[in-house]
Chain A
């Protein structure tokens, strides 16, 4: 019997017959790599696009959001560990081939489909086929991902995707290795490739007390985003809640999130947001030119949107994003 090697993500799992890779969903059956979750999402939901979070992509639109069981990372703080760290055989799933998913999106007038909650990279073939069909039906595709993928499959996937929110969980390799069982460099490469491909990119950093909340680390992360992705790239600082194997840590304070936001603004990032904690200014979009309010948000609700054809109505500055 033959061992197979999965070349999808940088883990490059060597999988013995009858075993799965680290993601739990890619299995060696008789010397052939098989995906066991293709067409079987365990979650299908109707979310506001702001929940992904995507603040510069079709604001106030609804997004059909799906996930299958499994993940190639094992973050100790995972907020969705009940499905991301579950075996498919322990998960209830819906039979939903790509054609059916696109049909649901069309019949219910969803503007886009999000591959989210767990890790769309591990159900790569399903994500790709759904995205290709959705694109043909004029439905946009969004990835919410940790970006831990090899270059070749990533480039192929980016051809059929319109937007991505990619986690940059920390800025040190040590953090990625110890806390997420991954490495930093492939994530940075995936971020740069995504931005260079022309899709809409937003970045999320979950701030965890004591682990990645040091001023200097946050500054370093902001500098990296500015230099490599551009100052126009929206950056979301998300608040952590004690979950999974990090129940001993406190939740992130609003003060810490505001400190991170101030650092990012000092470093020249134009659009910096605070998530998971209600904040007076941290959810709004302001014009980087004249500093006037452009989009006012409370949680996932848009209170007002003053953008005119993607531009500031006061100074005319074009605002990065996909607005229609």
Chain B
């Protein structure tokens, strides 16, 4: 193998390894979100809105 061919082969192998590592890192890294998407259905029980509103017993 000539020196030039060896360098070409080395470059292609290294770039393949680099792409592989990048792909794997992207796959493993968590997806980041600031905004959350809506969930259509509330997981708990739902009641109808009252007609009048009272002062809360909660703090704040």
Binding site for B on A (CB under 8 A): 2-8, 14-15, 26-27, 29, 31-40, 43-48, 51-52, 64-65, 67, 69, 79-80, 83, 87-96, 100, 104, 108, 114, 116-117, 124-125, 144, 150, 152-153, 165
Q: Are B53 and A64 neighbours in the complex by a CB distance under 8 Å?
A: yes
Not counting A79-B58, A104-B53, a sample of 6 additional A-B residue pairs whose C-beta atoms are within 8 angstroms of each other reads A14-B30, A31-B31, A36-B39, A36-B42, A44-B49, A92-B47
Within 8 A of A (CB), among B7-60: 30-39, 42-50, 52-56, 58-60
B38 touches A38 (CB 8 A): yes
Total A-B pairs, Cβ < 8 A: 134
Is the beta-carbon distance between A153 and B46 smaller than 8 angstroms? no
B42 cross-chain contacts in A, Cβ below 8 A: 36-37, 40, 88, 93, 95
A interface secondary structure, majority? mixed
| A contact residues around B59 at 8 Å (CB) | 79-80, 117
- Min CB–CB distance A261 → chain B (angstroms): 20
B: number of interface residues (CB 8 Å): 27
Using Cβ atoms and an 8 Å threshold, which residues of chain A touch B44? 40, 69, 87-93
Q: Are A5 and B32 in contact (CB under 8 A)?
A: yes
Interfacial chain B residues near A4, Cβ < 8 Å: 30-33
Distance A67 CA – B33 CA, assembled complex (angstroms): 23
Q: Is the CB of B33 within 8 A of A39?
A: no
Give 6 nearest A-B pairs by CB, closest first. A45-B56, A33-B33, A79-B59, A46-B53, A35-B36, A3-B30
Which residues in A have their C-beta under 8 angstroms from that of B60? 51-52, 65, 79-80, 114, 116-117, 144, 165
23 contacts between A and B (CB under 8 A): A2-B30, A3-B31, A5-B30, A5-B32, A15-B30, A33-B36, A34-B37, A35-B38, A39-B38, A43-B58, A47-B56, A48-B55, A51-B56, A79-B59, A80-B58, A92-B45, A93-B46, A93-B47, A94-B46, A117-B56, A125-B35, A125-B38, A152-B34
Q: Are A44 and B53 in contact (CB under 8 A)?
A: yes
A19 to B14, CA, bound (A): 38
A321-B5 Cα distance, complex, nearest whole Å: 76
Choose from B39, B55, B56 the contact partner of A29 (Cβ within 8 Å): B39
Residues of B within 8 A of A47 (CB): 55-56
Task: Give chain B nearest CB distance to A124 CB in angstroms.
Answer: 8
B53 touches A108 (CB 8 A): yes
Distance in angstroms between the alpha carbons of A44 and B36 in the assembled complex: 23
Measured between alpha carbons, how far is A282 from B17 in the docked complex, in Å?
Answer: 69
A94 contact from B36, B47, B58, Cβ within 8 A: B47
CA distance A120 to B14 in the complex (A): 50
